[in-house]
Structure 1
Amino acid sequence: MVKVATWNVNSINARLPNATAWIQQAKPDVLLLQEIKCEADKFPLLEIQALGYHCAIHGQKSYNGVAILSRDPLEITQEGLPGDPDDQQARYLEARTAGIRVASIYLPNGNPVDTPKFQYKLDWMDRLKVHAATLLKTEEAIILGGDYNCIPEPRDCYDPKAWAGDALFKPQTREALREIVALGYYEAFREIHPQRVAYSFWDYQARAWDADHGIRIDHLLLSPQAVDLLEDCDIDREPRGQPKASDHTPVWCTLAA
């Protein structure tokens, strides 16, 4: 069995005690991190290696940044999303490890929608679609995991009306995600829990966690070869309730060996 998890840690150095505690408890074989908010030389490499993990890091000073941790060695296959050589934001990292190909994805937020940030988000999703289609041609077991900053359906949000004008829930964003899935990917959580209402993000404002005013924006997309091995998938709420928690919580899936 291979356990793969994704987690937007909202600064790996600020959340290091939370992250190491969860890693020791949950024991993922592969962990995809987003929003590490540091360059590679500031990543807590020694602390993570001490837990038994190899690390691949695509960092950026103070913002963004993605990483892949694995118990097995990592072969980096793509650093940065192809399609725009001028894009310097660290939002995509891909590697082979544990017999599968994985990508850690931190998709742009896109707000405010009346600024270039929203078009950047949609353009980024178009580039992801092109690359995701290319990956399917390899016929490998692939997991594209991360913070997609997209609420797929109304049931994935505690109050759809409140989020109607947000970039995470705009029709264009949801359609772009559907188009990526329609290439031939499967959303792991919905494969295991077709009807369940669950969230992976709760804002720090307005006591959202206490009221369970959450949204589901962290996803694991599996290629056909990966979904054939899918055994389980869930959202681990426990880390979000800890002191100094990230506003996201881990999502994980297990594949048969």
Structure 2
Amino acid sequence: MKIASFNINGVKARLPRLLEWLEETQPDIACLQEIKSSDGTFPADAFAPLGYEAIWHGQKGFNGVAVLSRQGSPAVLVKTGLDGDEDDTQARYLECRSQDVHIACIYLPNGNPQPGPKFLYKLRWFERLRARMAHLRDLEVPAVVIGDFNVIPTDADIWSPAAMGDDALTQAETRDAWFRLVYDGWTDAIRHFYPQGGLWTFWDYQAGAWQRDHGFRIDHALLSPKASDRLVAAGVDRSHRGRERASDHAPIWVNLRDA
């Protein structure tokens, strides 16, 4: 099973690029973030000609997550949103099941500017995610938590640590929250295959970041022990960042062998 993730930065604005990527790479499951679409305007019908069904949790203008799955092997919705904050209405979490694999598509808060309420919201969201991931781990099923985590785990995951020294993505509290997730028993699939770092998933639109390769890694796939036992490959579809009217993210993917 090939499970991929793509922060599309506007599903309607980037629809040609998204369809192009699906046709070329053919993931079994494609998790999308920042769809920036309400539930009523998500373009689900656009994916049917390529053989995909969709489930989504939208929000008008920003945020929003979706999962595309191959027709005939649909993803079954488990839940949207994280427990622990009844006042949180932001569309950032969608959990589903496909075959025997549980998949959580996430768009973790950015947290800027920091310090401040947005950064505190980011850290609280991290703790709520950790609680849900502990539940998934304890089910002892193959589980993949994948998406835009908005965290740069180490200095090896950014072209210039100094350039992002004040950013919420690199703060000690952010990295501590990330490693608490990992040390709970999850495998960072990209790091597993690229331990030296230097593999980016995001390049800002400003200041020629793509042309100068000034990027960093904030899109991740964390695998439970049952899923990591089946991990055979992981990577980044870097070339898709360089196409016309592309998202500022590149897709990531993992391959799991069949049970």
TM-score (norm 2): 0.97
**After the TM superposition, which residues 33-112 of structure 1 pair with which residues of structure 2 at under 5 Å, given as runs?**
33-71=32-70, 72-112=73-113
Are 1:228 and 2:229 counterparts? yes
Residues 106-255 of structure 1: matches in 2 within 5 Å?
106-255=107-256
Q: Please give the alpha-carbon distance, in whole angstroms, between the structure 1 residues aligned to 2:99 and 2:11.
A: 23
Alignment of 1:21-32 (within 5 A): 21-32=20-31
Following superposition, the deviation at residue 114 of structure 1 comes to 2.6
- Counterpart amino acid of 1:55? A
Deviations 1:147-188 (A, max 9, x none): 000000001000101111100000100110100111110000
Deviation at 1:83, TM superposition (A): 1.1
Q: Residues 188-225 of structure 1, C-alpha deviation per residue, up to 9 Å, x if partnerless?
A: 01112212411000000000000000010000000000
Counterpart contact for 2:231–2:257, Cα < 8 Å: yes
Which whole-Å CA distance do the structure 2 matches of 1:98 and 1:137 have between them?
A: 19
Shift of 1:245: 0.5
CA distance in 2, matches of 1:142, 1:39: 27
| 1:14 equivalent in structure 2 | 13
CA contact (8 A) 2:157 2:197 kept: no
CA displacement, residues 100-140 of structure 1 (integer Å, 9 cap, x when unaligned): 11011000000000320000000000111111111111111
CA contact (8 A) 2:63 2:91 kept: yes
| Counterpart-to-counterpart distance in 1, 2:19 and 2:100 | 24
Q: Distance in 2 between matches of 1:52 and 1:212?
A: 34
**Letter paired with 2:117:** P
Partner SS state of residue 7, structure 1: strand
Quote the offset at 1:37 in angstroms: 0.2
Specify the code of the residue in structure 1 equivalent to 2:175: R
Matched AA of 1:14: A
| Structure 1 portions without partners, runs of 5+ | none
Q: For the residues of structure 2 that align with 1:255 and 1:117, how far apart are their CA atoms?
A: 35
- The 3-state SS of whatever aligns with 2:79 is strand
Indicate the percent of aligned positions where both proteins have the same amino acid: 47
Query: What count of residue pairs does the alignment treat as equivalent?
Result: 256
Structure 1 runs (4+) deviating above 6 angstroms are none
d(CA) in 2 for partners of 1:179 and 1:219?
Answer: 15
- Residues in 1 aligned to 2:197 and 2:152: alpha-carbon distance in whole angstroms: 14
Q: Could you tell me whether the CA contact under 8 Å between 2:100 and 2:141 is conserved in 1?
A: no
Which residue identity does 2:53 align to in structure 1? H
Mapped to 1, the partners of 2:188 and 2:242 lie a distance apart of: 25
Q: TM-score, normalised by structure 1?
A: 0.98
Task: Find the residue that maps to 1:165 and give its secondary structure.
Answer: coil
| Code of the aligned partner of 1:21 | E
Give the residue type in structure 1 aligned to 2:111. Answer: G
> Which amino acid letter does the alignment assign opposite residue 48 of structure 1?
F
Shift of 1:145: 0.2
Q: Alpha-carbon deviation of 1:76?
A: 1.0
Query: Secondary structure of 1:31's partner?
Result: strand
Secondary structure at the counterpart of residue 168 of structure 1: helix
SS class of match (1:50): helix
Question: How far, CA to CA, are the matches of 1:10 and 1:70 in structure 2?
Answer: 20
Displacement, 1:9?
A: 0.2
| SS state at 1:94 partner | strand
